[in-house]
Amino acid sequence: MAVQFNVATLLKEPVGATRSYDVDDDVPVPENGAVTKEHVTGQADLLRTKDGVLVRARLRSHRRERCARCLRELDLELGLNIEEEFYPLIDVETGTHVEPADAPGAFRIDEHHILDLNDAVRQYATMTMPMQPLCRADCRGLCPRCGQDWNEGPCACQPEPDERWAALGQLLEQTERG
């Protein structure tokens, strides 16, 4: 089932009516000026509310990223727990325009009564992404001089002394001499 749902029938039902859908679809994701597809799977539950439709979705997505330390490609699994209310643009009974809810940035159900989860999935995926994705927690990274992957072994570069520790080094030398 797609991440778009026709909720016209649900909007005609009383508050508390529900629908459940399996989600197994690709979501377009803008990335570096291009649009790529990200596959999303899981379950979406829709609940008729007084003002619209509450969506509770438990979704999984996989994204190709690069490790922030060693630059290896990795497959990052994201768990998306979406809970958002969607508000209709058009009253399903009368066909008249409905004033937006007093929630700036609220998700909307379009004029054809289609509830589209694409934007919510993109937003939740962005919030769930780690700031520094790692291939593993103990990734050692790359040598800043020669580019050797320290996960594969040490390089031949000699470490440069860190000037911030120079005063402690001098103190250690004085202590060892005296």
Q: Is 40 helix (H, G, I), strand (E, B) or coil?
A: strand
pTM above 0.95, yes or no: no
Structure tokens at 57: 């979705």
CB 73 within 8 A of CB 64: yes
Closest CA to 60 of 44, 78, 81, 45: 78
Decide: residue 123, CB within 10 A, 0-12 exposed, 13-18 middle, 19+ buried: middle
Q: What is the pLDDT along the chain (178 residues), one digit of tens a residue?
A: 458 999 999 999 999 999 999 999 988 877 777 888 889 999 999 999 999 999 999 999 988 899 999 999 999 999 999 999 999 988 888 888 887 666 777 899 999 999 999 999 989 988 998 999 999 999 999 999 899 999 999 999 987 778 888 888 888 888 888 7
